[in-house]
Amino acid sequence: MVLQPSKPGLALETAGAWLLAALWILPLAYAFWTAFHPAEYATRFDLFAPLTLQNFRNAWEAAPFSRYFFNTIVLVAMILGAQLVLCTLAAYAFARYAFRGRDVMFVLVLVQLMIMPEVLLVENYRTMSVLGILDSLPAIGLPYMASAFGIFLLRQTFKTIPAELEDAARVEGASALQILLKVYVPLARPVYLAFALVSVSFHWNNFLWPLVVTNSVHSRPLTVGLQVFSSGDQGIDWSIITAATIMTTAPLLIAFLLFQRWFVQSFMRAGIR
Amino acid sequence: MKLAMRVLLSTLFAFLVAGAALAQTEISFFYPVAVGGPVTKIIDGYAADFEKENPGIKVKPIYAGTYQDTIVKALTAHKSGEPPVTSVLLSTDMFTLIDEDAIVPIDGFVTSAEDKAWLASFYPAFMLNSRTGGKTWGIPFQRSTIVLYWNKELFKEAGLDPNRPPATWAEMVAYAQKLTRKDASGKVTQYGVQIPSSGFPYWLFQGLTTENDALLMNEAGNEVYFDRPGVIEAVQFWADLSKKHGVHPPGIVEWGTTPRDFFEKKVAMMWTTTGNLTNVKTNAKFDFGVAMLPANKRRGSPTGGGNFHIFKKSSPAQQQAAFKFIKWITSPQRAAQWGIDTGYVAVRADAFETPVMKQYVAGFPAAAVARDQLQFAVAELSTHDNQRVTKALNDGLQAVLTGTKTAEQAMKDAQREAERLLRTYK
Amino acid sequence: MSADGSRRFAANVHGWLLVLPAAALLVLFTHYPTVATFLRSFFSTAKGARGSAFVGVDNYRQMIDDPIFWQVLSNNAYFALGTIPVSIGLALLMAIWVNGRIAGKGWLRLAYFTPTVLPMIAVANIWLFFYTPQYGLFEQVLSAFGVPAHNFLGSKDTVLTCLIIVAIWKEAGFFMIFYLAALQQMSPNLAEAAAIEGASRWHFFRRVTFPLLMPTTLFVLVNAIINSFRLVDHVVVMTRGGPDNASSLLLYYIYEVGFRYWDSAYAAALTMVLLALLALFAVGQFLFMDRKVHYR
């Protein structure tokens, strides 16, 4: 909701908006250019440069990307699944149960909004090693499974749901768990969607903590695999790196292309603001 | 009946498990893949071949990332319970590994005359970073030195003899001046020489200090000499290449893009690791040469790269198995093949006497340059609290190269910081 | 026990049972490590045979004497000040454009948002090419305009700005989504009324739109602040903190001290500084939020 500009103003702003968009897309455009052309065109831009898929073949062979893909997908799914269950339960309690110590507990939850797990990486690393699960997918995922953001978001949503609905369900003899699943969860669907999208894109791209806790192909997610792969002793080969970049981000990019309208709408309906 | 059956089965099972455990000694082997993907296949191949020849031993290579990543993983694993049995780690991390009580001396395993001959077969230059206090802590494996790569085409264009690399600092500067080109607006389009300075500038710098006949540290690894005149002169020379002579790119030059700069003909001579030989061979679209670093007061280069270490927390059986594996993988044949496949310097003289290597060197004489330079090589900078001490030097070098400190000031600061860090190791 | 009392008892039990799984993980990975870090910052690092010992405030004293710490702290302040206002401003501008009548806004939205989907670790390598001297993209473009050559990442004066640009590029599109969501929820009547009254566009934005967006701005601001202390992926790939620590950020320094120097005690002291800063922002936000925004 903004006043719309006058005609010349609109033209000017359109130009500005497109210029900015061009700048924003530039790295991706470069990645596509370099990935599909032979190495000598990585730094030269010639319209008639020959196209090739060799870079993708080289990249795919140079590192176990299929394993990295598998790790990332399992990791992201595991984190999201755990987050949805844990955050729903906690948010429901915070929204609808007047248990003793609730407010203190809620503040303690909110602490994690500020102190993300990676800030405490030295100490969390120690914890993982005491638990004996270093270099495993659970070690990457565990610190993120109880998401303060998720709890906060769902609590806010649950609170907007009229208590009458719950009362009506209770009169019909539904248990607390049934009420949660039949009344609250369906009504909060857009919030779940928005949260899921944020969570997936965050963990697909997360780097520092996975870098610290993993040390083998068996647990390394795509981002860390990509870093290990590109930080060679022998210098940077942009052709292969961009090919690998496109390979590793393609699923997310395609998903976003397909669902972008829906994505923004779920944000809007979730009322994240 | 059922019960008897179950007892029988479980006993049988227990025997099987115990038998397998007895027969199999598993050695986990951390290997840094700072050298890229194909190398993992070579290593996997070695592990499989070794297992075939030694049925009782299972080698489990774990590719842990860069050298940096690998030592982090190895040491944290050492502290938290399950370290690797053996690992290739930077030879400069020797003191760190000793201080953390993480590794055992190799000498303990060297018993037979054959073992002794094996240990004596490595190039002495590589052993400088593998021994301290009279003990051998590491076995050279993927070792390198710094060499100068030059573009023969650009030499020709500049009117220089394409087959004669600079032999001294003065020559290098003179050549570089001829090789530096500017466009009409006075902007440099091609630099004469490039010495990368991101990440680990100390290593390339040590080429300069060695040539200036200056030492950076003592053998015990608890004293450094960053503020000696010879060292300060060397920093000044490096900075002057850009500031005074204008033949070197200004500021910090990225290690990772240096080979690419060379391929793009943005620089006519570069200093980089011998480990880049294969890379340059495949990617340079022009005739190039590889030379020893130019001399000032003498020739010289530090060695670099990784050694095998054996970890203390492993069982004696595992340690013995690891020793066997190390001996196997550093045999002349394999050392030669490894050097050919990767561009690293084969770690022992007799590797260069093998037919494969002889044939390779005949077809590609550049491969022998690093070997010939070894007689002038010194130990890479390595001290107690190594990471921090080298960081102090790196910071000082980068401060000079970016023009924020004078050479003297920067080296004095680095010396003071290093002395503070090394205080407790005297 | 009365019926009322037992119901209250049940509510207590149920409430706690529901919260417990999440709470256990939060305690294990947020609260416990916070406390442990605090305690550890008063001990020395165990090394080899030497165990860890109580050293009082030695680690903090070392920190005060550590020029790199001060440099890293000021770098981070500069990085935050450079990143936060610009990325929020751009996000708002993007949202207004995408929400307006501009041709092809679906594509614009897509373009603005893509950096969010790309992993920093991957795009940092691409940015490395953009900044490369001599034949890097920026250098190719700039030299066409006759601008003198510059080694962007290799100079202490420009390296941090380069990282700031990457961070802005990465974040603005993400923040845009929040603004867009907020803008689309506003009633169009307000704009119509203002148009009838002949209010200028800027005036309307300043007096109506912007104040209404205040909760969003705050939410985004908090995120931006946290990110400016949390995001160091690009430092790892592009500069490793160099040249001469000119681009090192606090979390990167903690990573370096903790996992390269294995000085976990000093890393703990540094982490306490980071935690204190974050706590300070939390308190500030809480006080500010209380006045300006009404959360239920």
Residues B19 and B49 placed together within one structural domain of the fold: yes
Provide, as residue numbers in chain C, all residues whose Cβ is less than 8 Å from the Cβ of A35: none
Neighbours of C172 (CB within 10 A): 27
Report the distance separating Cα B211 and Cα B297, nearest Å.
6
Give which of A95, A271, A100, A109 is closest to A180, Cα–Cα: A95
Provide Rg for chain A, Cα atoms. 23
Strand (E) or helix (H) holding B219: none
Could you tell me if B103 and B310 are in contact, meaning their C-beta atoms sit under 8 angstroms apart?
yes
Give which of B368, B366, B421, B369 is closest to B391, Cα–Cα: B421
Report the distance separating Cα B419 and Cα B389, nearest Å.
9
Residues B155 and B181 placed together within one structural domain of the fold: yes
- Number of helical (H) and strand (E) elements in chain B, helices listed first: 18, 12
- Number of helical (H) and strand (E) elements in chain A, helices listed first: 14, 0
Q: Which sign does the torsion angle of CA B244, B247, B249, B252 carry?
A: negative
Averaged pLDDT, A157-183: 86
Residue C146's Cβ-count burial label (10 Å; 0-12, 13-18, 19+) is exposed
Would you call B66 and A43 a contact, using CB atoms and an 8 Å cutoff? no
Could you tell me if B191 and B249 are in contact, meaning their C-beta atoms sit under 8 angstroms apart?
yes
Subunits with 3+ C-beta pairs closer than 8 A to C: A, B
Residue C2's pLDDT is 61
Query: Whole-number mean pLDDT of chain B?
Result: 88
Count Cβ–Cβ pairs < 8 Å, chain A vs chain C.
314
Report the distance separating Cα B226 and Cα B242, nearest Å.
22
Under the banding of pLDDT at 50, 70 and 90, the label for residue B53 is very high
Residue B36's pLDDT is 47
Residues B131 and B31 placed together within one structural domain of the fold: yes
Residues B407 and B268 placed together within one structural domain of the fold: yes
Report the distance separating Cα C193 and Cα C197, nearest Å.
6
Provide, as residue numbers in chain C, all residues whose Cβ is less than 8 Å from the Cβ of B394: 242
Residue B177 DSSP symbol: H
SS3 B288: strand
Residue A6's pLDDT is 66
Provide, as residue numbers in chain B, all residues whose Cβ is less than 8 Å from the Cβ of A43: 260, 264
Residues B180 and B243 placed together within one structural domain of the fold: yes
Report the distance separating Cα B337 and Cα B356, nearest Å.
7
Q: pLDDT higher for B4 or C56? A: C56
pTM of the predicted protein model: 0.88
pLDDT in tens, B288-301: 999 999 999 999 99
Report the distance separating Cα A156 and Cα A161, nearest Å.
9
Residue A270's pLDDT is 61
What are the structure tokens assigned to C59, written together?
Answer: 């680690």
Q: Quote the CATH superfamily of domain C66-292.
A: MetI-like (1.10.3720.10)
Would you call A134 and B35 a contact, using CB atoms and an 8 Å cutoff? no
Q: pLDDT higher for B109 or A116? A: B109
Whether chain B has a CB inside 8 Å of the CB on C260: the answer is yes
Query: Whole-number mean pLDDT of chain C?
Result: 86
**Cβ within 8 Å of residue C240, ≥6 positions away:** B198, B199
Nearest CA in chain B to C255: B72
Would you call B266 and C135 a contact, using CB atoms and an 8 Å cutoff? yes
Strand (E) or helix (H) holding B15: helix B2-23
Could you tell me if A124 and C40 are in contact, meaning their C-beta atoms sit under 8 angstroms apart?
no
What are the structure tokens assigned to B195, written together?
Answer: 């010495």
Residues B260 and B393 placed together within one structural domain of the fold: yes
Report the distance separating Cα B149 and Cα B367, nearest Å.
12
Q: Does ipTM exceed 0.90?
A: no
Neighbours of C206 (CB within 10 A): 11
Averaged pLDDT, A85-110: 91
Report the distance separating Cα A56 and Cα A251, nearest Å.
15
Whether chain C has a CB inside 8 Å of the CB on B198: the answer is yes
Nearest CA in chain C to B386: C261
Residue B104's pLDDT is 94
Residues B362 and B384 placed together within one structural domain of the fold: no
Nearest CA in chain A to C39: A123
Averaged pLDDT, B1-18: 51
Report the distance separating Cα C258 and Cα C266, nearest Å.
8
Provide, as residue numbers in chain C, all residues whose Cβ is less than 8 Å from the Cβ of A25: 111, 114
Q: Which of A61, A125, A235 sits opposite B260 (nearest CB)?
A: A235
Nearest CA in chain B to C261: B387
Q: For residue B171, what is the domain's CATH number?
A: 3.40.190.10
Strand (E) or helix (H) holding B29: strand B25-31
Q: Which of C48, C134, C244 sits opposite B99 (nearest CB)?
A: C48
Residues B99 and B198 placed together within one structural domain of the fold: no
pLDDT in tens, B274-283: 888 888 888 8
Could you tell me if C217 and C88 are in contact, meaning their C-beta atoms sit under 8 angstroms apart?
yes
Residues B57 and B129 placed together within one structural domain of the fold: yes
Strand partners for B186: none
What are the structure tokens assigned to B147, written together?
Answer: 């060499």
Provide, as residue numbers in chain B, all residues whose Cβ is less than 8 Å from the Cβ of A223: none
Strand partners for A34: none
Q: Which of B188, B388, B401 sits opposite C149 (nearest CB)?
A: B188
Residues B14 and B73 placed together within one structural domain of the fold: yes
* DSSP for B151-176, written as a single string: EHHHHHHTTS-TT----BHHHHHHHH
Report the distance separating Cα B348 and Cα A46, nearest Å.
47
Residue C45's pLDDT is 86
**Cβ within 8 Å of residue A58, ≥6 positions away:** A239, A240, A243
Phi and psi (nearest 5°) for B367?
A: -65, -20
Averaged pLDDT, A227-249: 79
Place of tokens 């993300």: A116
| Residue C112 identity (one-letter amino acid) | Y
Which domain range does residue B209 map to?
A: 146-303+379-425
Residues B337 and B256 placed together within one structural domain of the fold: no
SS3 A113: helix
Q: Residue A59 above 90 pLDDT? A: no
Count Cβ–Cβ pairs < 8 Å, chain A vs chain B.
80
What are the structure tokens assigned to A159, written together?
Answer: 């609170």
SS3 B266: coil
Most trustworthy range by pLDDT among B232-236, B338-342, B369-373: B232-236
Q: Which sign does the torsion angle of CA B338, B343, B346, B351 carry?
A: positive
Strand (E) or helix (H) holding A180: none
Under the banding of pLDDT at 50, 70 and 90, the label for residue C206 is confident
Residue B373 domain-assigned (yes or no): no
| Residue C290 identity (one-letter amino acid) | D
Residue A3's pLDDT is 57
pLDDT in tens, B141-156: 989 899 999 999 999 9
Residue B20's pLDDT is 46
Whether chain B has a CB inside 8 Å of the CB on A123: the answer is no
pLDDT in tens, B100-145: 889 999 999 999 999 999 999 999 999 988 998 889 999 999 898 9
Report the distance separating Cα B111 and Cα B162, nearest Å.
51
Phi and psi (nearest 5°) for C176?
A: -55, -40
Residue C260's Cβ-count burial label (10 Å; 0-12, 13-18, 19+) is middle
Would you call C134 and B250 a contact, using CB atoms and an 8 Å cutoff? no
Would you call A123 and C268 a contact, using CB atoms and an 8 Å cutoff? yes
Q: HSE on the CB side for B147, CA within 13 Å?
A: 29
SS3 B146: strand
Under the banding of pLDDT at 50, 70 and 90, the label for residue C180 is confident
pLDDT in tens, B205-251: 999 999 999 999 998 889 999 999 999 999 999 999 999 999 999 99
Residues B140 and B151 placed together within one structural domain of the fold: no
Q: For chain B, what is the domain count?
A: 2
User: For B116-125, which contacts have Cβ atoms below 8 Å and span 24 or more sequence positions?
Assistant: B118/B327, B118/B330, B121/B332, B121/B348, B121/B349, B121/B350, B122/B330, B122/B347, B122/B348, B123/B345, B123/B347, B123/B348, B123/B349, B123/B374, B125/B303, B125/B374, B125/B375, B125/B377, B125/B378, B125/B379
Would you call C47 and B99 a contact, using CB atoms and an 8 Å cutoff? yes
Enumerate domains of chain A plus CATH numbers.
7-57 (no CATH), 65-270 (1.10.3720.10)
Averaged pLDDT, B44-57: 91
Residue B414's pLDDT is 95
Could you tell me if B404 and C156 are in contact, meaning their C-beta atoms sit under 8 angstroms apart?
yes
**Structural domain boundaries in chain C:** 66-292
**Nearest CA distance, C173 vs chain B (angstrom):** 30
Would you call B251 and C143 a contact, using CB atoms and an 8 Å cutoff? no
pLDDT in tens, C147-169: 777 888 888 889 999 999 999 99
Using an 8 Å CB-CB cutoff, list residues of chain B that contact chain A: 30, 33-38, 62-66, 69-70, 73, 76-77, 79-81, 255-260, 264, 272-273, 275-276, 278-279, 283, 285
pLDDT in tens, B376-406: 999 999 999 888 999 999 999 999 999 999 9
Give which of C20, B414, C99 is closest to A3, Cα–Cα: C99
Would you call B398 and C262 a contact, using CB atoms and an 8 Å cutoff? no
Strand (E) or helix (H) holding B269: strand B267-273
Of B183-187, B267-271, B381-385, C291-295, which range is least confident? C291-295
Give which of B311, B315, B343, B342 is closest to B326, Cα–Cα: B311
